[in-house]
Amino acid sequence: MKAQETERLIVEERKSGSSISIVENVLEKRIDDIVTLLSSESYGKSRLYEEIQSMFDRILIKIALQRSNNIKSAAAAFLGINRNTLHKKVEKLGIHINKKKGVDEIG
């Protein structure tokens, strides 16, 4: 999503005077688009929740690692989770932390 489109959505939300968080509304609209795309490819028992959760975890962890210069303890503190929890998620999601270059994804 482009920054201009996000700004437009935020402006629309402010005009509506909604009591729900502006960010939550913007996320909901984007997630709805993602769910539509993923659910159209799904056959049989859905793993939609797991797939979306993994995507969000992967994105949040990558952002936290980038903002903390790939220092796991700082990234965990940024996310409000235990360092061991972060380490387990990094392994499970196949995220490779290269201290010199940044964050890469293995999976």
C-alpha 7: how far from chain center: 19
- pLDDT attached to residue 75: 97
Q: What percent of the chain has pLDDT over 70?
A: 76
Q: Is the pLDDT of residue 20 over 80?
A: no
C-alpha 74: how far from chain center: 18
25-37 residue pLDDT tens: 888 989 999 888 8
| Average pLDDT value for residue range 64-73 | 95
Looking at domain 46-107, does it have CATH number 1.10.10.60?
yes
- pLDDT attached to residue 23: 82
Dist CA 82 CA 16 (whole Å): 38
Dist CA 65 CA 73 (whole Å): 9
- pLDDT attached to residue 77: 98
- pLDDT attached to residue 19: 45
Other Cβ atoms closer than 10 A to 8: 12
In the chain, CATH 1.10.10.60 covers 46-107
* Token duo for residue 79: 């996310």
